[in-house]
Each structure stands twice: as structure tokens, then as C-alpha cells.
Amino acid sequence: MVKNLAILVAVFSLQWVALGEEYHVGVTGDDSNPGKNSKPLRTIQRAADLAQPGDVITVHAGVYRERINPPRGGESDKKRIVYQAAKGEKVQIKGSEIIKKWGKVRDDTWKVTIPNTFFGSFNPYSDLIKGDWFEANGRQHHTGAIYLNGDWLVEAVNLDAVLKPAGSEPLWFGQVDKDSTTIWAQFKGVNPNETDVEINVRQTIFTPEKTGINYITVRGFDLRNAATPWAPPTARQIGIVSALWCKGWIIEDNEISYSKCSGVALGKYGDEFDNRAGSAEGYVGTLNRALTNGWNKATVGSHIVRNNHIHHCGQTGVVGSLGCSFSSVIGNVIHDIHLTELCVLPAAVKNLWRQSGWLAAAGDW
């Protein structure tokens, strides 16, 4: 009897292990590999393409420069797809690329010209920050950024400002024409060709293109440097990590930083009405459309964002409109954010939402 029980336990254990695969990713890997620990894949995206509900993707130490677009999620809280850094290993995923071949212009100012083909279909230096409730203050703001040794420079109002000697906050300025992008930047006392200089090239780092990619875990990564767009409550909301109109994500134990707008987004889908509300009253239409797009507890929200270190984001550390309903944001350290509120929902909109009963359902921010 005891022997038979032992056999049953062994069989059950084997069945439990067989429920999910573990795919390994490493900087020395190859995407033609099977993804075993001894033969890892090279890109996280390749692992994402292979992973099925119940699978785990373990990423090993190194710097990965890619955008992950998970094509599918898990089936339930117990059968999710997990993306994790290998235990005790530092894994950086960046939306930026290293740039060399800078030429000195004068004093602290250097210049580089890059073919537009380098950026593909998305060029952050022609992509403006804009949208409902964004105040440009009479100047242009782009989603591009320049990083020197991990910290970003400030976008200048015009080229003349960058051609002057650098002040306490070094500046950059970009200009895009038909074939190329030229960037001027102040590097005080530094040769940019001999140190770490990077530029934004990706809008986000971990965001599905499709909505309804549910039950995903993102754990233990250093995610940084992305050209994220402005995220008002009336538009598609994208951060460095985005649970885009999804359900049941867990985002935990990550460092999320240097996002041009938002760090973590738990927001809504996009449609032809994005950035067209323009007022609290117009936002009511956004709420009504969300209902027709399946806004309820069974389909979106119920995320957990916990124990992350979120910093240096131009708009918000954590943002969420509608898609954040029934979520928990706990134990995070958030600092160096342009606005102090986690959500940029205007007070007038909050009042309308509260009166209609939806704010109580989503949680009062």
C-alpha cells in the first residue's frame, strides 16, 4: 500500500512539473536554441513567442536592448506566464541604444547625425509629448532623451541654448529632417565617445500590442530608458511596463526608471477618441465607451504592483485609467517624479466619476 502510494505521488509530481516549461534567456544564447539552461535563447521576445500558459521565462544576467510584446498571457492566477530575472542576477532591459561618433562643435557641445533608418518606424526625436491636459508652455517636448552615464540631460527650448557652455543641468536639442536626425548635446568635461552615452529608440519595454493579454508576472528586472507617451485618462496609456486593458498582472520587485512620461501603466485601450475629451464632461464619454468595451471586474484590472523601485519618470510613477480597477499598489518606493500624484486624473473628472459611482468601484486615488 505504501509502495503504491509512493508511485502515485511520484506520478502526480511528474504531471505537475510537466504543466509548464521553463525557457532560459542569456546574452550568449541563440534564438535557434531550445531555451534550456545549457542552450538559452538570445532574446526575451523569442521566449515570449514560445511561452504558453503555465510557462516561466528566466532571464540571466546582462543588458538586453529590446521591446517585449507578449503575444499571449496565462489562463488564470494559477496558470500565468512568468517573466523573471534569474535569482541573484542583475538583468537590465533598456529602451535605449549606445551612440558613438560624436563630433565636437564648441566648448561643451557635441553633435551626432544618425540616419532615420536607425529608428525604424518610431523616431522619438520627432515624436511630440501631447494630449489632453498636457500644457506645453509654448515650446515643444519630445519623447526622445539623451543619457550620460545613466542619467538624462534636459531638452533645450532651442539650438542656441545648447551651443552655450553647459550650466548645472546639461542640455540637448534634436532636429529631424527627411533622411536623418541630428542631436546636439552638452557633455561638460567629457568626451562622449569615451563614456556611456545612450539615446531613446523604443517607446516602451514591456507592453502587449493587443488588449486582453492576461495573467502575466514581471519580476526582478531593471527596466529603463523609454520614450513613453503622455498618458491622460482619455487615451491609450503606455509606460515602461503596461498592462494594457488586461487582467491579473503582477509587477513586482523591479527597478523601473527613466521613462519620459510613465513608469507603470495599468490603463485603457486606445481608440479614435484618444485625446479628444478635453474636459471633465468629455471624459464621461470615455467612461461610457469603456463599458461597451468590457469594463468590468471579470475582464480588466485586479493587478498587483508591489515592492518596485520607481523613479525618474517625467509624468507619473504609476498611472491607470479604468484598466486599474480593483488593483493593489503596495510597498513601492517612488521618487523623482514630475507630478506628485500617481494618477493625473483632474479633480473635476474625479468628482464626476464619484457622482456616477465609478470612482468607488475603482478605488479613490
Domain assignment present for residue 73? The answer is: no
Average the pLDDT over 45-52 and give the result.
98
CATH number for 135: 2.60.40.1180
Calpha distance 55→217 (Å, rounded): 11
Q: Is residue 133 part of a domain?
A: yes
Residues 190 and 211 in one domain: no
Do 177 and 302 lie in one domain? The reply is: no
For the whole model, what pTM was predicted?
0.87
DSSP string over 11-37: HHHHHHHHT--EEEE-TT--TTS---S
Pair 187, 335 in one domain: no
230 and 353 inside one domain:
yes
pLDDT digits (tens, 9 = 90+) for 119-143: 999 999 999 999 998 888 889 999 9
Same domain, 258 and 335: yes
Phi, psi (degrees; rounded to nearest 5) at 98 = -75, 135
Residue at a domain's end among 200, 222, 245: 200
- Are 218 and 196 contained in the same domain? no
**By residue range, what is the domain housing residue 351?**
82-95+203-362
Going by pLDDT thresholds of 50, 70 and 90, the confidence category of residue 281 is confident
CA gap 208, 14 in Å, rounded:
32
My answer on whether 144 and 86 are in the same domain is no
266 lies in the same domain as 138: no
Main-chain phi, psi angles of 18, to 5 degrees: -70, -10
For residues 140 and 230, state if they share a domain.
Answer: no
Sequence-ordered strand ranges (E) for 116-254: 146-148, 151-152, 154-155, 171-176, 180-186, 197-200, 216-219, 222-226, 241-242, 250-252
Question: Is residue 12 predicted with pLDDT exceeding 90?
Answer: no
Domain count, the chain: 2
Residue 87 lies in a domain: yes
Mean local confidence (pLDDT), 201-222: 98
Q: Is the pLDDT of residue 210 over 70?
A: yes
Let me know if residue 179 belongs to a domain. yes
* Residue that is last in its domain, among 200, 234, 250: 200
pLDDT of residue 19: 66
The domain boundary residue, chosen from 200, 226, 251: 200
Number of DSSP helices (H) and strands (E) in the chain, helices first: 6, 25
For 37-99, the DSSP string reads SSS-BS-HHHHHHH--TT-EEEE-SEEEE--B--S---SBTTB-EEEEEPTT--EEEESEEE-
How would residue 8 be classed by pLDDT, with cut points 50, 70 and 90?
A: very low
Give me the pLDDT at residue 11, please: 44
* pLDDT confidence band for 4 (50 / 70 / 90): low
Q: Are residues 144 and 271 in the same domain?
A: no
With a CB cutoff of 8 Å and minimum separation 6, the contacts of 234 are 131, 132, 273, 274, 275, 276, 277, 282, 283, 286, 321
pLDDT of residue 136: 83
Q: Is residue 220 a part of any domain in this protein?
A: yes
pLDDT-derived band at 351, boundaries 50, 70, 90:
low
215 and 334: one domain?
Answer: yes
136 falls within a domain: yes
Same domain, 235 and 90: yes
